[in-house]
């Protein structure tokens, strides 16, 4: 991302060595991107929901999807794009620099422009040779499992909740075991319905069978089919990831042969 740094733009990067007038942008709330030091002294621009779940005093919740903004230094215009990764995750398109930052986005938001473009993307699963479900397929599996196998789902991370909220468009009754941050997210996104046939539970729930969206459980054993529901004790495991698959990335590259793709270094799992 040298071209961004040369133009005083930092995305999901929090070094105190950046010069003054750098524009700091936050793509989403996951800790591998949003681990902002408590002593960080510059304003950080983010989406409204990101600020709800990250209360760092320097976050400014001003960024809106499809809106245009300008950086502090050189007044470079950029557009905010929706990326379908987690709660109001966003990407940034800088047309004058010919740069698109997708972050961990799972949906192809690449503008169809007939000129060179550098695309910064999440390559976590790019080298995985296994076929993995696309995000839309994952959502369909979870919804089918809720309707046909078990109406109880375990959610321990607000990122998974936002994925289900965006894709499945269903609401839940909340069990007391649901973690506080997940409960806050469910309330924020109006996903709580005391009359819902679906129950959301936390990790400490032991009362009955429940669906557990999983990624590592599947990835550790290549014999497990990520396109099927698997019984695991009193759990039903359904593959769920918030990251683009190798097939997704290959499709992007086929559609945009003029673009140079630059993979992010990520600590995500």
Identify whether residues 41 and 112 lie together within a single domain: yes
Q: How confident is the model at residue 266 (pLDDT cuts 50, 70, 90)?
A: low
Identify whether residues 145 and 116 lie together within a single domain: no
Q: Among candidates 174, 212, 9, which has minimal Cα distance to 97? A: 9
Identify whether residues 83 and 169 lie together within a single domain: no
Identify whether residues 222 and 154 lie together within a single domain: yes
> Which residue has 């010919």 as its token pair?
98
Identify whether residues 74 and 164 lie together within a single domain: no
Angstrom distances, CA of residue 162 to CA of 16, 30, 113, 185, 242 = 31, 12, 30, 8, 10
Identify whether residues 229 and 257 lie together within a single domain: no
Identify whether residues 184 and 88 lie together within a single domain: no
Higher pLDDT, 88 or 212: 212
Contact 80, 90 (CB under 8 A): yes
The whole-chain average pLDDT of the chain stands at 86
Mean pLDDT over residues 134-154, rounded? 87
Q: What pLDDT sits at residue 15?
A: 86
Kindly report the CATH number assigned to the domain that includes residue 42.
3.60.15.10
C-alpha 219/C-alpha 176 separation (Å) is 30
Identify whether residues 115 and 7 lie together within a single domain: yes
C-alpha 96/C-alpha 82 separation (Å) is 20
Contact 196, 175 (CB under 8 A): no
Q: How confident is the model at residue 141 (pLDDT cuts 50, 70, 90)?
A: confident
Identify whether residues 56 and 71 lie together within a single domain: yes
C-alpha 269/C-alpha 32 separation (Å) is 10
Q: What is the DSSP letter of 190?
A: T
Q: For 36-74, what is each residue's pLDDT tens digit?
A: 888 888 999 998 878 777 767 788 888 999 999 999 999
Q: What pLDDT sits at residue 72?
A: 94
Q: For 156-193, what is each residue's pLDDT tens digit?
A: 877 777 667 666 778 999 999 999 888 988 887 788 99
Q: What pLDDT sits at residue 1?
A: 59
Establish if 268 belongs to a structural domain. Answer: no
Identify whether residues 196 and 213 lie together within a single domain: yes
Establish if 155 belongs to a structural domain. Answer: yes
Establish if 269 belongs to a structural domain. Answer: no
Establish if 117 belongs to a structural domain. Answer: yes
pTM of the model: 0.82
Identify whether residues 155 and 64 lie together within a single domain: no
Q: How many domains does the chain have?
A: 2
Helices (H) and strands (E) in the chain, counts: 8, 16
Contact 71, 95 (CB under 8 A): no
Q: What pLDDT sits at residue 269?
A: 43
Domain that holds residue 171: 135-239
Q: What pLDDT sits at residue 55?
A: 67
Establish if 190 belongs to a structural domain. Answer: yes
Identify whether residues 122 and 250 lie together within a single domain: yes
């Amino acid at each position: 991302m040298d071209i961004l740094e040369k133009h005083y733009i930092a995305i999901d990067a929090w070094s105190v060595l950046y010069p003054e007038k750098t524009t700091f942008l936050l793509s989403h709330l996951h800790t591998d991107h949003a681990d902002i030091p408590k002593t960080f002294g510059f304003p950080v621009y983010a989406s409204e929901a990101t600020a709800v779940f990250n209360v760092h005093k320097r976050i400014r919740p001003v960024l809106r999807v499809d809106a245009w903004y300008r950086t502090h230094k050189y007044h470079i215009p950029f557009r905010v794009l929706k990326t379908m990764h987690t709660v109001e995750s966003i990407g940034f398109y800088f047309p004058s620099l010919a740069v698109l930052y997708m972050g961990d986005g799972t949906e192809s938001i690449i503008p169809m422009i007939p000129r060179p473009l550098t695309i910064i993307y999440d390559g976590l699963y790019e080298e995985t040779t296994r076929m993995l479900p696309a995000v839309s397929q994952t959502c369909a599996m979870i919804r089918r499992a809720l309707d046909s196998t078990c109406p109880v789902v375990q959610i321990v991370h607000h990122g998974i909740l936002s994925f289900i909220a965006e894709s499945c468009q269903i609401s839940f009754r909340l069990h007391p075991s649901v973690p506080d941050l997940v409960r806050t997210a469910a309330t924020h996104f109006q996903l709580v319905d005391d009359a819902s046939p679906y129950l959301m539970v936390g990790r400490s729930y032991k009362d009955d069978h429940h669906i557990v969206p999983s990624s590592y459980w599947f990835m550790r054993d290549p014999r497990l089919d990520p396109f099927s529901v698997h019984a695991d004790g009193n759990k039903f495991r359904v593959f769920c990831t918030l990251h683009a698959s190798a097939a997704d990335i290959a499709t992007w590259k086929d559609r945009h042969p003029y673009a140079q793709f630059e993979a992010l270094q990520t600590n995500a799992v």
